[in-house]
Structure 1
Amino acid sequence: MFTEKDNEDIKARGSNPLTVKQQIDNFISGFPFLQIIKPATVGDGIIQLNEADTLAHIRQFDEKTAGGASLLKFVPASGAASRMFKALYEAKDALEAGASEKDVKSKKDIQYFFDNLTKFAFYPDLAQVAGKSPNELSALEVLKLVLTEDGLNYGNLPKGLLKFHSYKESNRTSFEEHCVEGALYAQKSNNSIDIHFTVSPEHQEKFEEHLADIKSKYEQQFGAKYTIAFSQQKPKTDTIAVTPENEPFRKDDGSLLFRPGGHGALIANLGELDADIIFIKNIDNVVPDYLKPETVKYKKALAGLLFSLQEKIFSYQQVFDTHHYSALQSVFLAEAASFLENVLNVKPPTNQYYTEKEELYHYLKNKFNRPIRICGMVRNEGEPGGGPFWAKNSDDSVSLQVVESSQIDFSDQKQKALVESATHFNPVDLVCACKNYKGEKFDLAAFVDPATGFISKKSLNGKDLKAQELPGLWNGAMADWNTLFVEVPIQTFNPVKTVNDLLRKEHQPEE
């Protein structure tokens, strides 16, 4: 299947031929669907904090932070913003093909865009590149200035570099909003703020230039020192593409075609970071300052809950690590098993009761010795996003999982009904702890479920191909983590998926 040169190229990427062969086998066999047991709901997999609980967890977080706990904010920011402007691209193409402005603006979203043009945070920049009021320009001229290199070039920039919000002093990109937000809950006791952005290679220089422009301003504003780092998806996480017949897809020069493995590849980037607590949030989920307090409140509460949970888990890790099973009392093992099942929500394999003491010891030791994540979940109000479910794992245990639609067999009416009965979805609001009780980092690759990948149809130069994405960052890549779900307010979730989302009241100045 592979030539000697293919094998050399594969090894040069940091991968190996056996891994790539497994990827091809995945194309042939497909990925199995995840078996959902039931939706996670409030009181059955989702914790609902009252005000007293919330404040107690915030105090715990503040105490740990004051005591020197290291904090870090991790922001996936690799994607281009082109999908945000899909409707605008279609309108531009139609106008260039001879359609009238009246016909183009008959589409509701296009008319809404032009009717509210002055409300976008990027409007002052648009006027500057136009050299006049954009209202004096034709619709086609405005669209070209927004999307192309002749103007703002927003169609080719990442979301992190787009102006999202308007302020009296100056308007901010989503990158800046993450810097501000980080100062409000990720500032350490030494006043340093660590933020890590994953970016595309072609965009990193622009991010670095933007950082140089704004860094000193926010350091002065918050009396803090920013340490902001960037990384890219690693070539070794790229996956091979195949033809529709599942043969390796070759480029015109005969070399193998590899494609980025999706955001699940970022588990490798996450695994290289060193902090006691890592906050994860998408680049487009930010709000103006007047709405930030609610976000900050719940970020701190989730982190405080994680710290409390971690203390108990660490105590179990230490006992299991330093004692032979024969030295442990049955009452201790029963207590640990109860904590695992009733607090960490890990149900043992069906019909497996671990009657042998040694079996139970090794099962518990394995389950406690894992990274931890607390995931915020919001009430389902029609927004897109994966959902929280109880699901069966590869070892037949049942635990809480973030499940994406691609993992669900919708042809199975029972599975479909379970999905339709879900009450919450995942806004990608995670707080993670990736070290054991000794302060050693876990090898995060060891906790990925490789059976949760995804296959999609693509093309290159007019030729059809199939692509493979790695298990998603917050679902399959974290499938074997200890997991808690906590309900957070819908106000903490304000993603920007289309340009007109920036016109929502949550992204507009305070009235």
Structure 2
Amino acid sequence: MLTNELENKIKAQGMPLGIVEEQIKNFKDGFPFLDIDYAAKIGDGILELNDGELQKALKDYKEKSKDKIIVKFVPASGAASRMFKNLFSFLEKGDNSFESDDFAKTFISEIKSFAFYEDLDNSLKKAGTSISKAIDEKKYGLIIQHLLDDDHLSYGSLPKGLLKFHQYPEESRTPVEEHFVEGAQYGIGKDNTVRLHFTVSPEHQKKFEEKVAEVQPKMEKEFGVKFEISFSQQKKSTDTIAVSLDNKPFVEDNGELLFRPAGHGALLENLNEIEADLVFIKNIDNVVPDRLKDTTTTYKQAIGGLLIEAQDKTFAALKQLDNKVTDKSVSQAEEVFTKVIGGKLAPSYGSKSLDEKASWLSEKLNRPMRVCGMVENTGEPGGGPFWVKDSDGSLSLQIGETAQLNLEDKTQEAHFKSSTHFNPTDLVCGIRDYKGKAFNLMEYRDPKTGFITQKSKSGRDLKAQELPGLWNGSMANWNSIFVVVPLITFNPVKTINDLLRDVHQ
């Protein structure tokens, strides 16, 4: 039970008391592990398109997407500070550590390969030196300070979306600009319009708006399309309370309770407010230069075509069930559930009456839908595709993060190790029902799929709680289709030196 003093603090900070009490209960009870039946494989939960199937999906998308409202939803709220963790560490140690710091040595030795090289050199020239001179004088820390400090290029505090990633003969581009280009290649929908939506941090939105105002006219002229850009911020109401290691609300030195952002699962509320027929979701940093965009474009259009085809068949089956429950309409819905959506019937399904089967199938089919790209598992972090047991005994496809799995259970560990693919945040979503009405996405998440992590604040240990992940527990009760996409479509930038990889040059 919370004391009156704590209740008053919670209310004073504008958080709903009931939700906070539920969060504290989660800390005490923990979250249940995902009940994996087995890992999805190619041919059993994961589609691998042959050339004919790929061409059909592309044809479906090109023919049927023109009249749909398409939104490219880009989570872009994270600061880039984690990209520069190694360089911040070098600054603390000083120039004398250079020879023993492989990360800093690589950064300096390859510095001309970065798209921001000219900007950085100009910054140093204003200070009476240059990159080459600073290197000759072994003033490596000075170069890094000019890159990171707010008095200079301020890369240490900017969001990833506004850093220069790629160099071209006539210009350099930030991830925001690369998403404009991608949008023009596969996101043109109704009214010849590309709709981009960026989720941003409050402190960064003005800078994003300035960048968009700078590049939008040029992009519209270059691609002959209209761009419609919108922004949203992670809602403060989705923050979760932090607790001490004994599950008591964490009180800061100033007497206030600590509430923390609840991970990308908090963006479900932002996604729920998007008005669209199709929504592509892709992280801000997963972009490549133009020379490598063709494969991404092809497979984005392909997963879009697969979604449109699956929706068409699902909507037709639901309308038939609405019209009349017959052996034929139930059989049609059953085939869509097992063959198109790829679901597995519950053991009790066969003993149900015709009306009960129709009701069960309607409930299963009338859900938000997503097609998720899956790349071969090469050891990168990411959610794996699994068949998971539902409460009614049927099996559904889920993306499971490592933190959701009981790896101390040998059977579950074996399922995890046998997983061959993972989702690199590459998906397209259908968020309207067969009558054209928007789903309330909050009704289709599994609140028991959150995460608890250990952190620290002001030198004190604490426990933090994340909401169900956006493409994990937040979409647990969606209909999911998993399809293999090439590994080249996944090129995240986790550290600044990742930009030295060939795919970013």
SS in 1 for 2:65: helix
Count, aligned residues = 498
Deviation per residue, 1:17-37 (Å, 9 max, x gap): 222111111000001111222
Contact 1:372 1:434 in 2 (8 A): yes
Deviation for aligned residue 1:329: 1.4
Contact 2:243 2:250 in 1 (8 A): yes
Deviation for aligned residue 1:41: 1.4
> Which of residues 365, 368, 378 is equivalent to 1:368?
365
Deviation per residue, 1:253-304 (Å, 9 max, x gap): 4332211111001011001001111110000100001111111111111101
Amino acid at match of 1:265: A
Deviation per residue, 1:189-214 (Å, 9 max, x gap): 42221100001111111111111221
SS in 1 for 2:100: coil
Q: TM-score, normalised by structure 2?
A: 0.94
Unaligned runs of 5+ in 1: none
Amino acid at match of 1:391: V
For 2:375, the equivalent position in structure 1 comes to 378
Amino acid at match of 2:461: D
> Which of residues 389, 393, 406 is equivalent to 1:392?
389
Matches within 5 A, 1:418-429: 418-429=415-426
Matched, 1:88 2:87: yes
Matched, 1:347 2:344: yes
For 1:258, the equivalent position in structure 2 comes to 259
Percentage of identical aligned residues = 49
Contact 1:354 1:360 in 2 (8 A): no
Separation in structure 2 between the aligned mates of residue 292 and residue 471 of structure 1, nearest angstrom: 31
For 1:162, the equivalent position in structure 2 comes to 163
Separation in structure 2 between the aligned mates of residue 206 and residue 115 of structure 1, nearest angstrom: 31
For 1:48, the equivalent position in structure 2 comes to 48
Amino acid at match of 2:221: Q
Contact 1:47 1:487 in 2 (8 A): yes
Deviation for aligned residue 1:439: 1.2
**Bigger shift: 166-175 or 338-347?**
338-347
SS in 1 for 2:414: helix
For 2:124, the equivalent position in structure 1 comes to 130
Unaligned runs of 5+ in 2: none
Matches within 5 A, 1:40-439: 40-66=40-66, 68-95=67-94, 100=96, 103-131=97-125, 132-137=129-134, 138-320=139-321, 322-323=322-323, 327-351=324-348, 353-439=350-436
Matched, 1:38 2:35: no
Deviation for aligned residue 1:153: 1.4
SS in 1 for 2:72: strand
Separation in structure 2 between the aligned mates of residue 459 and residue 140 of structure 1, nearest angstrom: 28
> Which of residues 450, 472, 476 is equivalent to 1:453?
450
Contact 1:376 1:426 in 2 (8 A): yes
Separation in structure 2 between the aligned mates of residue 349 and residue 113 of structure 1, nearest angstrom: 55
**Bigger shift: 339-348 or 126-135?**
339-348
Contact 2:318 2:333 in 1 (8 A): no
* Structural RMSD (CA): 1.8
Separation in structure 2 between the aligned mates of residue 5 and residue 272 of structure 1, nearest angstrom: 35
Deviation for aligned residue 1:154: 1.1
Separation in structure 2 between the aligned mates of residue 69 and residue 421 of structure 1, nearest angstrom: 39
Contact 2:77 2:199 in 1 (8 A): yes
Separation in structure 1 between the aligned mates of residue 156 and residue 452 of structure 2, nearest angstrom: 26
Deviation per residue, 1:345-374 (Å, 9 max, x gap): 222345554523343222211111100000
Matches within 5 A, 1:459-474: 459-474=456-471
Amino acid at match of 1:210: K
**Bigger shift: 348-357 or 457-466?**
348-357
Deviation for aligned residue 1:219: 1.3
Separation in structure 2 between the aligned mates of residue 216 and residue 9 of structure 1, nearest angstrom: 48
**Bigger shift: 52-61 or 334-343?**
334-343
SS in 2 for 1:419: helix
Contact 1:13 1:235 in 2 (8 A): no
